[in-house]
Structure 1
């Protein structure tokens, strides 16, 4: 009994954690930071970071790498703060018309969590790669592979931004909210009726009950 109760509490905690607004972005941030260290280490092992290497697939120096990473990091955190501030204002106005469920749907929406995680992960990735760029004489190092992947993340963030604008404009429409409520209601009804036959199959008559008495009363 204690074991089943503990397992139930663990599953309930995992469900609350998985549906929270910060869980998925936190996982994406951890992956981005780990990836930055991994790519820097790969650049170090391959010796791609030397600025005088003619075979390097990127030819920018330390100052160019710093400029690119600084621009990406600054733009990511600026866009994230601006977009989500405007979005929260729009959702607040929509919740006054359609009810507070709009805000709850926004917080639990996996797409919104991924969008926020993309911006923050790209920002922190660029910061951690930026700290590894060295431009001193005799000790210059530019992680070209890591910087190039930062550019790829920036391009992906632009695509995610376009998707987010479309997604949030669609999610606050009344027909979308009604369709989501209908799906949640149908899922709740299906779950309820799936449990009823099991409860009925496991039901036992109380001790001392005589079924003939029931037939006698009904005939």
Structure 2
């Protein structure tokens, strides 16, 4: 997966699309110059004068447009820095990836790069030859107008991104997409249980180990490649990690057992495992949800004191947990197309997602009844939606954990009454008894 890891880094970088636009700009200059040199002299009489410009006017136009393009670029970079500073101080540093990876942000900078290089090279190519009529200034005006349109779009876009509700909604939508992709139908077999005696007989054989070649976070695993490789070489593998885990260099990431005398080459894990310096949301549902958690925790800090933003995040987290409950499959064993076991990999339990979603919010928001009430309400709605009785009881037990930090007997009368009414409905839904006075 070396090429995949490289692509992840390129995708997240700010220079890639501007570089592509810059190359396209050089090509466009070559095409326009060829038109000015060969085509325009032959058909100038049939081209309306509005499309043709003299060299002296072109020079003044290019000089003005270069200054205007640099000004728009400078303002855009300043806007980007304002957004990044706002994210780091008020929202979540992890959300910086979302803004910098945004296609609009990268395309805007790419258009500026295209326009600046196009104008600069055209100005450089102007000479004092006999040709007095040029078509390139017309194209330059079109590019300048396009750059202005992208500048207005970017200012509007950045103004939305610094609004916390827009950011929360964007993260929620992106995470929803990751959940659907994570539990989509696969070409290989996925199983919750497997013959225990077969597992024991496999583990009795001599096992070999694949070690992490570098330290970092597990960003993505290519299941198709891994299972196909195991099938080809008659192997059974066991993963010693979960997506999103940090692994130090030299740590065992896979154990495997060979059931063939075929001579094969043990692949480096880079072929099917992406390890990077940062956690990403490629397959890591928990990391995506943690962004909302951090926004909520920041909002509950004494410097921010914004419980409504925290409640908004809690509601979105509850919605994501609802989607997760509807798609969640506790898969541990993966088989090939012939039904042969090829991979053993423990998956995060639904309880893990519940705990990581609310334990920090519970700690920092336990003294704010509105936050506690919102968490309980989100869990209650989650229990309403899910048809899985075991998940429903998991949610009920987790709700009891949330309320452990609240001294119910010391709540004000109306706070107690509202919370009691909600808990009564929650208990009835789960078939439990509520022993509140």
What TM-score comes out, normalization by structure 2 length?
A: 0.41
CA contact (8 A) 2:17 2:106 kept: yes
Answering whether residue 24 of structure 2 is matched by residue 31 of structure 1, we say yes
Unaligned runs of 5+ in 1: 1-7, 210-219
Give 2:75's aligned residue: 82
2:55 match: 62
Change (3 A) 1:164 1:49: farther
**2:98 is the alignment partner of 1:105:** yes
Q: Distance in 2 between matches of 1:44 and 1:82?
A: 36
Question: Which residue of 145, 150, 160 corresponds with 1:170?
Answer: 160
Q: Provide the rounded CA distance (Å) in 2 between the counterparts of 1:207 and 1:55.
A: 83
Q: Does 1:154 align with 2:147?
A: no
1:48 match: secondary structure: helix
Deviations 1:26-57 (A, max 9, x none): 1111101110111111111114399xx66553
SS at match of 2:189: helix
Inter-CA distance 87–14: structure 2 relative to 1 (3 Å threshold): closer
Identify the residue that residue 116 of structure 2 maps to in structure 1: 123
- After alignment, is 66-75 or 176-185 more displaced? 176-185
Is contact 1:133-1:142 (8 Å) kept? Answer: no
Cα distance change of structure 1 residues 189 and 60 upon mapping to structure 2, 3 Å threshold: closer
Query: 191-200 or 165-174: which moved more?
Result: 191-200
Contact conserved, 1:49 with 1:141, CA < 8 A, in 2?
Answer: no
1:206 to 1:144, Cα distance in 2 relative to 1, 3 A: farther
Question: Aligned-pair distance for 1:64?
Answer: 0.7
Q: What does 1:86-97 align with in structure 2 at a 5 Å threshold?
A: 86-97=79-90
- 2:189 maps to which residue? 198
Structure 2 residue aligned with 1:45: 38
Q: Contact conserved, 1:91 with 1:172, CA < 8 A, in 2?
A: no
Q: Pick closer, same or farther for the CA change 1:38–1:208 going to 2, 3 Å.
A: closer
Kept in 2, the 8 Å contact 1:74–1:123? The answer is no
Larger Rg: 2
SS at match of 2:127: coil
Q: CA deviation at 1:208?
A: 9.0
Contact 1:80 1:116 in 2 (8 A): yes
Q: Across the two proteins, how many residue pairs are aligned to each other?
A: 198
Distance 1:13 1:208, change over 3 A: closer
Structure number having the greater helix percentage:
1
Q: Could you say which residue in structure 1 is the equivalent of 2:173?
A: 183
Q: Between 180-189 and 74-83, report the one with greater CA deviation.
A: 180-189
Q: Comparing 8-17 with 171-180, which one deviates more in the overlay? A: 8-17
2-structure distance, mates of 1:47, 1:184 = 50
> CA, structure 1 residues 11+91, in 2 after alignment: closer, same or farther (shift >3 Å)?
closer
> Residue deviations 1:52-110, cap 9 Å, x none?
x6655345321111111111112101220123114312430343111213422221011
Taking the aligned partners of 1:208 and 1:107, their CA distance within structure 2 comes to 45
Displacement, 1:123?
0.6
Task: Tell me if the contact between 2:52 and 2:133 (Cα under 8 Å) persists in the aligned partners.
Answer: no
1:207, distance to aligned residue in structure 2 (A)? 3.6
Distance across 1 between alignment mates of 2:45 and 2:165: 58
Instruction: Name 1:217's counterpart in structure 2.
Output: none
Q: Distance in 1 between matches of 2:195 and 2:173?
A: 35
Higher share in strand: 2
Q: Pick 1 or 2: higher relative contact order, CA cutoff 8 A, min separation 6.
A: 1
**Is 2:138 the counterpart of 1:145?**
no
Give the 3 Å change call, closer, same or farther, for CA 55–93 of structure 1 in structure 2.
same
Task: Give the SS at the match of 1:144.
Answer: coil
CA–CA distance in structure 1, aligned partners of residues 83 and 127 of structure 2: 44
